[in-house]
C-alpha cells in the first residue's frame, strides 16, 4: 500500500473510534439529563444531612421535569442570583403555601411569613444558621430546579437514601449505630 493509503486507513480508523466515543457520550449525556445523574455537594448549609466535605449523590431528573418534586425533597437548583452556580437545598413549600421562617436565627428570633407565588418553590438549607437560601434570594421559579437528590453514594459510611425530613443524627454515625445494635442483639 502506498503511504497515502496507509495514512487514509489510520485516519478512517481514528474517525470511527472517535464517532463511537462521541455516540457513547451522547447517550450518557441524554441519560444524565433526563433520567439520573451524579453530583458533588459540599458546604455547611445542609448539615447534618450532608457534611461539609464533598459528598457524591445521585439525582433523578424525572420528578422535577414532571412537576412532581414537592415539600421535603432535597433538590439541586440553579441559583436565581448566579445562573452558573448550582445549590442543594430542601423544598420547604410549594406554590400557595404560607411559609413562616426565621430570618436570621444567629442574631434574633424574628420571623416573617410569606405566601409562595404561583410557579415558585421556597427552599431552605437544613442548617438554617449557615445557609443562603430563599430567605435571602426569595422564592425560586420551579423551572430552575434541576433534579431531586434521592441517594448518597459517597462516603460509603453514609451510603443510603435521602429522606424527606432533615437528618437529626450524622448519617455516618447512624449507619454504625444500627450496625452495633444488630451486633449486640
Candidate list 39, 48, 60, 79; residue touching a copy of itself; CB under 8 A: 79
Site membership for a copy of itself, residue 78 (CB under 8 A): yes
Q: How far is the CB of 162 from a copy of itself (least distance, A)?
A: 23
Segment near a copy of itself (CB under 8 A); pick from 53-61, 125-133, 137-145, 169-177: 137-145
Candidate list 84, 98, 165, 184; residue touching a copy of itself; CB under 8 A: 84
Q: Which of 37, 51, 89, 148 is catalytic?
A: 89
Segment near a copy of itself (CB under 8 A); pick from 21-29, 42-50, 104-112, 161-169: 21-29
Active site residue 89: yes
The DSSP annotation for the chain comes to --HHHHHHHHHHHHHHHHHHHHHHHHHHHHHHHHTEEEEEE-SSTTTTTS-SS-EEEEEESHHHHTT---TT-EEEEE-SS-TT-EEEEEEEE-TT-EEEEES-TTT---EEEEEPPTTEEEEE-S-GGG--SHHHH--EEGGGEEEEEEEEEESGGG-EE--SS--SS-HHHHHHHHHHHHHH-
Q: Give the active site residues.
A: 45, 89
Residues binding a copy of itself (CB under 8 A): 22-23, 26-27, 29-30, 33, 67, 78-84, 117-120, 140-145
Amino acid at each position: 500500500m502506498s503511504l497515502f493509503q496507509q495514512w487514509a486507513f489510520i485516519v478512517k480508523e481514528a474517525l470511527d473510534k472517535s464517532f463511537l466515543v462521541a455516540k457513547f457520550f451522547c447517550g450518557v449525556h441524554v441519560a444524565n439529563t433526563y433520567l439520573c445523574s451524579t453530583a458533588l455537594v459540599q458546604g455547611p448549609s445542609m448539615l447534618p444531612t450532608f457534611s461539609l466535605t464533598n459528598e457524591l449523590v445521585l439525582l433523578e431528573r424525572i420528578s422535577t421535569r414532571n412537576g412532581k418534586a414537592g415539600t421535603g425533597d432535597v433538590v439541586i437548583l440553579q441559583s436565581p442570583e448566579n445562573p452558573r452556580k448550582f445549590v442543594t437545598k430542601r423544598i420547604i413549600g410549594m406554590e400557595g403555601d404560607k411559609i413562616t421562617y426565621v430570618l436570621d436565627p444567629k442574631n434574633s428570633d424574628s420571623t416573617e411569613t410569606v405566601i409562595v407565588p404561583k410557579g415558585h418553590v421556597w427552599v431552605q438549607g437544613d442548617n438554617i444558621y449557615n445557609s443562603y437560601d430563599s430567605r435571602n434570594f426569595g422564592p425560586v421559579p420551579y423551572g430552575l430546579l434541576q433534579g431531586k437528590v434521592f441517594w448518597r453514594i459517597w462516603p460509603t459510611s453514609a451510603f443510603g437514601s435521602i429522606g424527606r425530613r432533615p437528618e437529626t443524627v450524622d448519617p455516618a454515625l447512624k449507619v454504625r449505630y444500627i450496625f452495633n445494635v444488630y451486633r449486640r442483639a
